């Protein structure tokens, strides 16, 4: 039930969604002007320990820079969410972790002025 190990596992699993722009815990202070997407993995909700296994909910924040008009970049967010779905569907569940999609919703980060889709995933630790 080690959070650092879970973060490392999820990073390895989802880093292809936004190569070189996948972060764990928090986003960097500075966002480069040539970035159009980012992925944030949040394990802030923790993992409950049931002795024989653990269970928790993790959040994946798929960020997309708005279009030049300021509108939501739906195409970029759709591609990122489809990549997340594909990883979840094709995971190797024979190891210590099993993940599943719980829900998703749309959000807006006012401090960065970027849109994001949040995918909530459940994780079971064997």
Query: Domains in the chain, start-ordered, CATH in brackets?
Result: 3-125 (3.30.2000.10)
Structure pTM?
Answer: 0.92
Asked whether the beta carbons of 37 and 62 are under 8 A apart, the reply is yes
Per-residue pLDDT at 21 exceeds 80: yes
Cβ–Cβ under 8 Å, residues 62 and 119 = yes
| Phi, then psi, of 98 in degrees rounded to 5 | -135, 125
- Give the mean model confidence (pLDDT) for residues 1-23: 92
Alpha helices per DSSP H over the chain:
3-14, 74-89
Query: How many residues are given for the chain?
Result: 126
N-terminal to C-terminal alpha carbon distance within the chain: 9
Residue 123: pLDDT over 90: yes
Q: What mean pLDDT do residues 78-106 have?
A: 93
Contact assessment for residue 104 and residue 61, using Cβ atoms and an 8 Å cutoff: no
């Amino acid at each position: 039930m080690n959070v650092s190990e879970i973060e490392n596992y999820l990073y390895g699993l989802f880093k292809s969604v936004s190569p070189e722009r996948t972060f764990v815990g928090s986003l960097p202070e500075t966002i480069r002007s040539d970035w159009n997407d980012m992925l944030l993995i949040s394990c802030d909700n923790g993992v409950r320990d049931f002795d024989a296994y653990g269970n928790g909910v993790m959040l994946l924040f798929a960020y997309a820079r708005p279009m030049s008009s300021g509108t939501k970049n739906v195409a970029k967010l759709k591609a990122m969410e489809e990549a997340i779905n594909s990883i979840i569907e094709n995971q190797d569940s024979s190891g210590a972790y099993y993940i599943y999609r719980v829900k998703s919703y749309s959000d807006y980060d006012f401090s960065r002025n970027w849109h994001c889709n949040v995918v909530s995933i459940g994780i079971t630790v064997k």
